[in-house]
C-alpha cells in the first residue's frame, strides 16, 4: 500500500519530505517563507548547516507516491517516495494522436 502526498526534495542530499509532517525526526523542518506570499516554503534539511536550505513555491511541490515506511517517518529516499506524473500529460498525448488522424492525406482531396 502507498498513498499520494505533497513532497519537497532537498537539492543536496535528495531526501524527500512530506510537507505536512514538519518538523521531521532527523532534525529537518519546513516553514513558510518569511515576508513572502503564503505559497512559498523554505526547507531546512539536516544534511548541512545553512547549506541544505531550499525554497519552494506551492506550484513546484511534487505529488508523490509514499511507501508506508516513509509515511511513518515523514520523509524518505527517492526509492520510497516517487513523483506521480500529472494526469493532464496523458490527455494532451491522446489529443495529438486524434489530430494526426484529421490531417491524413485522404481528407485533403477536395481542395482546389
Compare residues 3 and 55 and give the one whose CB is closer to Zn ion.
55
CB of 17 to Zn ion, least distance (A): 9
CB of 48 to Zn ion, least distance (A): 7
Long-range contacts (CB closer than 8 Å, 24 or more residues apart) made by 16-19: 16/62, 16/64, 16/70, 16/75, 16/76, 16/77, 16/78, 16/80, 16/81, 17/43, 17/45, 17/74, 17/75, 18/66, 18/70, 18/71, 18/74, 18/75, 18/81, 19/61
Compare residues 13 and 42 and give the one whose CB is closer to Zn ion.
13
| Contacts with Zn ion, residue ranges (CB under 5 A) | 10, 12-13, 45, 47, 52
CB of 32 to Zn ion, least distance (A): 19
Q: Retrieve residue 79's grid coordinates.
A: 526509492
CB of 31 to Zn ion, least distance (A): 15
Compare residues 33 and 53 and give the one whose CB is closer to Zn ion.
53
Compare residues 67 and 77 and give the one whose CB is closer to Zn ion.
77
Amino acid at each position: 500500500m502507498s498513498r499520494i502526498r505533497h513532497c519537497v526534495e532537498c537539492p543536496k542530499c535528495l531526501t524527500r519530505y512530506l510537507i505536512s509532517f514538519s518538523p521531521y525526526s532527523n532534525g529537518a523542518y519546513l516553514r513558510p517563507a518569511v515576508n513572502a506570499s503564503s505559497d512559498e516554503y523554505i526547507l531546512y534539511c539536516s544534511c548541512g548547516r545553512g547549506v541544505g536550505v531550499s525554497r519552494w513555491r506551492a506550484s513546484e511541490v511534487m505529488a508523490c507516491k509514499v511507501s508506508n515506511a516513509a509515511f511513518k517517518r515523514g520523509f524518505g529516499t527517492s526509492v520510497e517516495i516517487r513523483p506521480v506524473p500529472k494526469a493532464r500529460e496523458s490527455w494532451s498525448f491522446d489529443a495529438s494522436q486524434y489530430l494526426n488522424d484529421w490531417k491524413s492525406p485522404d481528407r485533403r482531396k477536395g481542395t482546389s
